[in-house]
Amino acid sequence: MKAAVLYAPNQPLVIENIELDEPQADEVLIKTAATGVCHSDLHFMEGKWMCPMPVVLGHESAGVVEKVGSAVTNVKPGDRVVVAFVQSCGACDNCITGRPNLCSNGQSLNRMGRVKLNGQPLPQFAGMSAFCEYQLVSNKACVRVPDGVPMEVAALVGCSVMTGVGAVTNTVKLQVGQTVAVVGCGGVGLNIIQGAKLAGASRIIAVDLVESKLAAAKEFGATDVVDASSGDAVAQVTGMTGGGVDYAFEAIGLMKTAQQCFAMAKRGGQAVVVGMLPLMEELTLPAAGISFLGEKGIVGSYYGSTRQTYDMPWLMELYRQKRLKIDELISRRYELGQINEAYDALKGGEVNRSVIMF
């Protein structure tokens, strides 16, 4: 089966034939239908985050169940599913207290050696390696897709929509009337914006350097836009709000923008880091903002604090009711053989989201 293989950072992906094992008792073989071209994969391609290589990336995906292992009861062949990139065990402290995205056993569920390239075992990235025609995944990663939801839409629910909307509704539980800033208006940022709109934010200030992204931000619900190329973004946001916002979301993955978000939060407000900050660096913040003068906070948001089997169905229901824009996120569709072109377009800031269609 064809897959896009990354051999080393900063090299183009190579289309190769890989082999998948037969499903074990708790596994599901999925025929991939659509996989999103997410910026998180790019962090690994550019060597900013590390994983064993060679590797097949891809973690924003939906497909059709082809085969199931003997113990699988939640899905059956022919079911259309989103593949979530956490496979919570359901038994650890975080799972039983409602934080399955932080499952302590999640990593061990990412099986090694089930996928091979020329007889050599490959790691399964995010438990799925979705830039491949088929995926062998844990049954716990599968969330059924209802009728009326196209596969490329379901794929985006599997990462960018969940990550963005969930950061607002799950991680910080925004209250009606609160104010937000969103720094970075790509695939995830636009979903933070529409999540804030759904949750009833009174001001949604979109910040970006690219005019077309600010225009998209308005379509997704931003009430105000700040062009960070035309002067200090922090001064503009704090000036517009009389001192800052309740929540400033970082959706790029840069130290500088994380610091800017902390500065954009008002006294008692929070910076919410959704982007993947560089793995080995330290983030410094002004102490006065956190201590008694400011009572400000900074929090990370991983995968929209997802409880995937609960959250992904309601996200897809809101899409069906046309209350969540997902079709509009998809700028381009590519075939697997065009994947390098798709990532070049992402690097160039040309697209909200592209999808590889299988």
Q: Report if residue 5 touches Zn ion, rule: CB under 5 A.
A: no
- Decide if 189 contacts 160 (C-beta within 8 A): no
Cβ neighbours of residue 322 closer than 8 Å, sequence gap 6 or more: none
Catalytic one of 95, 132, 142, 159? 159
43 is catalytic: yes
CA dihedral 4, 27, 157, 280 (to 10 degrees): -60
The position carrying tokens 């990532």 is 343
CA distance linking residue 130 with residue 102, whole number of Å: 21
Beta carbon nearer to Zn ion, 89 or 285 = 89
> Cβ closer to Zn ion: 182 or 237?
182
Q: How many binding residues for Zn ion (CB under 5 A)?
A: 10
DSSP-H helix ranges across the chain: 39-45, 93-96, 151-156, 162-166, 187-199, 211-219, 233-241, 255-264, 287-290, 308-320, 339-347
Shortest reach from residue 104's CB to Zn ion, in Å: 5
Nearer to Zn ion, 265 or 336 (CB): 336
Told to judge if 38 belongs to the known catalytic residues of this protein, a careful annotator would answer: yes
* Binding track, positions 94-123, relative to Zn ion; x by CB under 5 A: -x-------x-x------------------
* Binding characters for Zn ion, 13-52, by CB under 5 A (x = yes): -------------------------x-x------------
The SS3 call for residue 162 is: helix
Q: Does 159 interact with Zn ion (rule: CB under 5 A)?
A: yes
Beta bridge partners of 70: none
- Interface with Zn ion, residue 89, by CB under 5 A: yes
Minimum gap (Å) between residue 138 Cβ and Zn ion: 12
Query: Which of the following is catalytic: 43, 61, 103, 129?
Result: 43
- Residues 166-205: x where in contact with Zn ion by CB under 5 A, - otherwise, as a string: ----------------------------------------
DSSP string, 14-42: EEEE-EEPPP-TTEEEEEEEEEE--HHHH
Q: Which of 39, 59, 129, 185 is catalytic?
A: 59
Q: Where do contacts with Zn ion occur on this chain (CB under 5 A)? A: 38, 40, 60, 88-89, 92, 95, 103, 105, 159
Residues forming the active site: 38, 40, 43, 59, 159
